[in-house]
Amino acid sequence: MMHTEENEQVEETNMAAWLLGIKNLQIQPYHLPPLGPNDVKVQIKALGICGSDVHHFKNMRVANFIVKKPMVIGHECAGIIKAIGSNVKSLAVGDRVALEPGISCQTCNFCKNGTYNLCRKMKFFGSPPTNGSLANQVVHPANLVFKLPDNVSLEEGAMCEPLSVGVHACRRADVNPDTKVLIFGAGPIGLVTMLAARAFGAPRIVIADVDHYRLSIAKDLGADDTVQVSTNIQDVGEEVLKIHKVMGESVDISFDCVGFDKTMSTALTATRAGGKVCLVGLGQSQMTIPLVAAAAREVDVIGIFRYRNTWPLCIELLRTGKIDVKPLITHRYKFTQEDVDKAFETSAKGGNAIKVMFNL
Amino acid sequence: MGKGGKSDGSNVEEENMAAWLVAINTLKIQPFNLPPLGPHDVKVRMKAVGICGSDVHYLKTLRCADFIVKEPMVIGHECAGVIEEVGSEVKDLVAGDRVALEPGISCWRCTHCKQGRYNLCPDMKFFATPPVHGSLANQVVHPADLCFKLPDNVSLEEGAMCEPLSVGVHACRRADIGPETNVLVMGAGPIGLVTMLAARAFGAPRIVIVDVEDSRLSVAKELAADEIIKVSTNIQDVDEEVGLIQKAMGGGVDVSFDCAGFNKTMTTALTATRPGGKVCLVGMGHHEMTVPLTPAAAREVDVVGIFRYKNTWPLCLEFLRSGKIDVKPLITHRFGFSQKEVEEAFETSARGGNAIKVMFNL
């Protein structure tokens, strides 16, 4: 495939990591669509693996999204612009950019009302049937590509995607200097939510997890306090008491970044009357929870799906140093068949792997 | 004994009687000694008292959630009456005024109160929530600021209806009902019906209401539901019913009110509501629920909780005065204040069916 780059006419086959079947990723050629007038072509330089990528890898599906044909994996990415469409004014070849993965239709009511993350026609990198971005290059709308400040690296640019989930959750839950925050789960999502909550001014943040090691990472990253909890539903009452003691005062907002009966039950019970529980994690579909008891204290449950209008804020928070995501990147791999296999294995294992990052 | 009970110049010392919950399924009309009239209090002669599902629940079980009746308690809280006496500092009310009563006295000192969410006050003293006595009595003493003067064209019975109506109004506020929100109401009992009436008053363009009972659905239709749908208690029917509901609504369900509060109703509501919409949980059917919360949360369907109400009486009275809301059709049964009638009234209310609001006239 021929494409022109700045001053060069190099014919290079674009390669990508294709999901061909369960636990079967192969680096193969990836033909890009032509560059539209409002598009840019980006050379991908940094790409993180998300839990959903691993889930697709293991199951060939996530919820109602089923991988029916080979699909390029990956969506948390940043890179360098190689070509710009004829209408693109605000970006130039050579610009370092972070990419927002999802292309919404921009004509439905959800889009026009600003809640474009709920667009039913969303085309999202790595969500079947839309190809992802673990590739040498992708073509993407210019309005979804955000220039990185000089002091923000390409890896940090790729981290804008998971960070966006935390930022969107903090907005929807209205985190501010008055809200004491409790977070369930010290995995990547719990941690970005914690970093975002701090940036939004939360005066006190307590984080809970079953894993002692993850809690120590959270403490290093600035949690005011941590609570080790169990997976046993019988322990809810006792854990709520522990949480209240550790928080010192009431819990205004809880973020369940795990999404199980146990974590949701604890969150609903621990949060003060009139407070909010934000369900970020997508653990189990059906939940058995004390919902009436919570609703009768006007504890509201806020749902989160991806994010909207978060890249500018994420980039600014990274630029000023209000948020430092670099410690979350624990493992790095190159874009080779062997490394792709190893990277997914590492990410799937969890444990001390928080964010696994490709450098292309 | 009403202490120094003066009413319009006569010196009749009348013993104040009330309906006391003395044991399970046992109500007895007995004397009720009122506290002295404080400077900011009024004494009200009760004229209309409605029976609520929670009153019936206390009668049958002596408890409601964590509230337990440990000693005899006067029942009833949905009430209106005529002022007989005002405390020394009361400026806005006089003897003879017809008033509706907001039942709950909050502390006014805690953070919830000072932030305006006084319904969540942990020290709330609420008529007929143990250990606080209720208002199914000849007279009660109550803070003047919780007694609201009825407009001339609003009856005492309608005044008593302000209490259940307040639940619907509060729910519509929390769920942000307006001219753009298509509303689904689950349950056509008294609470579903007042929620429907409130939603209409808030401008909801389309209201679909569901219930398992035909008679309740036909009342809802008469009260101007846009569409009524009969549903089952069978959890397997959820998908089919969601289809019917969405078809009946036409343009997507923006807000669902679960006024029943069961797994089935909540599951239907969570599934039927559009992405970015809200499900308002008003009913308190089951303490713990098994529901598809994650798929709903992953469509940003939020669950909004409701506990009683706050700052709703003025708005309720205005809705009634202007005729924007007509609660009179909800009052289906009336009883007087005698031992026999008290027992019959509660039996009628407990039976449900075609009994919507059972009202005492004292």
Q: Which of B117, B136, B120, B119 is nearest to B128 (CA)?
A: B136
Of A110, A287, A300, the CB nearest to B294: A287
pLDDT at residue number B5: 42
Exposure pattern of B237-253 as b/e (b: 16+ CB <10 Å)?
A: ebeebbebbbebbeeeb
B74-91 confidence digits (pLDDT tens): 999 999 999 999 999 999
Shortest CA gap B327–chain A (Å): 25
Of A285, A300, A301, the CB nearest to B292: A285
- For an interface test with B, give the residue of A184, A292, A304 to mutate (most B CBs within 10 A): A292
From chain A residues 341-360, the ones with a CB under 8 A of any chain B CB are none
Beta-carbon separation of B300 and A117 below 8 A: yes
- For an interface test with B, give the residue of A298, A299, A308 to mutate (most B CBs within 10 A): A298
Q: Please list the residues that pair with B280 across neighbouring strands.
A: B257, B304
Band (A64; pLDDT cuts 50, 70, 90): confident
Residues 6+ apart with CB under 8 A from B45: B7, B81, B82, B83, B84, B138, B139, B362
Q: Is A1 an 8 Å CB contact of chain B?
A: no
Q: Is B235 an 8 Å CB contact of chain A?
A: no
Q: Please list the residues that pair with A17 across neighbouring strands.
A: A27
Q: Report chain A residues whose CB lies below 8 A from the CB of B286.
A: 292
| Contact call for residues B287 and B202 (beta carbons, < 8 A) | no
Q: Is A108 an 8 Å CB contact of chain B?
A: no
Q: Residue A19, SS3?
A: strand
The answer, yes or no, to whether residue A2 has pLDDT greater than 60, is: no
The answer, yes or no, to whether residue A13 has pLDDT greater than 70, is: yes
Q: Report chain A residues whose CB lies below 8 A from the CB of B288.
A: 288-293
B145-196 confidence digits (pLDDT tens): 999 999 999 999 999 999 999 999 999 999 999 999 999 999 999 999 999 9
Tokens of A73: 């994996």
Residues 6+ apart with CB under 8 A from B126: B77, B103, B104, B105, B132, B308
Q: Is A105 an 8 Å CB contact of chain B?
A: no
Band (B352; pLDDT cuts 50, 70, 90): confident
Residue of A nearest to B296 (CA): A303
Band (B65; pLDDT cuts 50, 70, 90): confident
B1 vs A142: which has the higher pLDDT: A142
Q: Mean pLDDT for chain A?
A: 95
ipTM value for the complex? 0.87
Band (B4; pLDDT cuts 50, 70, 90): very low
Q: How many Cα neighbours within 13 Å face the side chain of B213?
A: 14
| Torsion from C-alpha of B114, B115, B118, B123, nearest 10 degrees | -50
Mean pLDDT along residues A136-159: 98
Stretch among A11-20, A67-76, A114-123, B183-192 having the lowest mean pLDDT: A11-20
H/E element, B333: strand B331-336
From chain A residues 116-135, the ones with a CB under 8 A of any chain B CB are 117-118
Of A259, A279, A291, the CB nearest to B281: A291
φ and ψ of A181, to 5 deg:
-115, 140
pLDDT at residue number B13: 65
| Contact call for residues A178 and A272 (beta carbons, < 8 A) | no
Band (A10; pLDDT cuts 50, 70, 90): low
Mean pLDDT along residues A269-283: 96
Band (B313; pLDDT cuts 50, 70, 90): very high
The answer, yes or no, to whether residue A335 has pLDDT greater than 50, is: yes
Q: Report chain B residues whose CB lies below 8 A from the CB of A288.
A: 288-290
What's the rounded Cα separation, in Å, for the pair A23 and A18?
Answer: 11
| Contact call for residues B310 and B286 (beta carbons, < 8 A) | no
Q: Mean pLDDT for chain B?
A: 94
| Contact call for residues A221 and A327 (beta carbons, < 8 A) | yes
Q: Please list the residues that pair with B27 across neighbouring strands.
A: B21
From chain B residues 93-112, the ones with a CB under 8 A of any chain A CB are 112
Residue of A nearest to B286 (CA): A292
Band (B339; pLDDT cuts 50, 70, 90): very high
Q: Please list the residues that pair with B30 across neighbouring strands.
A: B18
Q: Is B248 an 8 Å CB contact of chain A?
A: no
Shortest CA gap B314–chain A (Å): 22
Beta-carbon separation of A290 and B307 below 8 A: no
| Contact call for residues A291 and B288 (beta carbons, < 8 A) | yes
The size of the A-B interface in CB pairs under 8 A is 122
A220-229 confidence digits (pLDDT tens): 999 999 999 9
Residue of B nearest to A169 (CA): B300
B195-241 confidence digits (pLDDT tens): 999 999 999 999 999 999 999 999 999 998 999 999 999 999 999 99
Q: Please list the residues that pair with B269 across neighbouring strands.
A: none
pLDDT at residue number A11: 61
What's the rounded Cα separation, in Å, for the pair B30 and A234?
Answer: 45
Q: What angle do CA A353, A301, A161 make, to 5 degrees?
A: 35
The neighbour count for residue B356, using CB atoms within 10 Å, is: 21
B96-126 confidence digits (pLDDT tens): 999 999 999 999 999 999 999 999 999 999 9
pLDDT at residue number B12: 57
Residue of A nearest to B262 (CA): A292
Beta-carbon separation of B294 and A282 below 8 A: yes
Shortest CA gap B34–chain A (Å): 31
Of A110, A273, A287, the CB nearest to B293: A287
Tell me: cis bond preceding B131? Omega within 30 of 0 counts. Answer: yes
- Indicate the pTM of the whole model: 0.90
Band (B93; pLDDT cuts 50, 70, 90): very high
pLDDT at residue number B146: 97
pLDDT at residue number A12: 81
Strand pairing category for A123-124 and A102-103: antiparallel
Residues 6+ apart with CB under 8 A from A67: A19, A56, A60, A61, A128
What's the rounded Cα separation, in Å, for the pair B260 and B254?
Answer: 18
Residue with tokens 């059917």: B285
Stretch among A239-243, B81-85, B209-213, B286-290 having the lowest mean pLDDT: B286-290
Q: Residue A272, SS3?
A: strand
Q: Which of A126, A165, A159 is nearest to A259 (CA)?
A: A165
pLDDT at residue number B106: 95
What's the rounded Cα separation, in Å, for the pair B278 and B288?
Answer: 20
H/E element, A207: strand A205-209
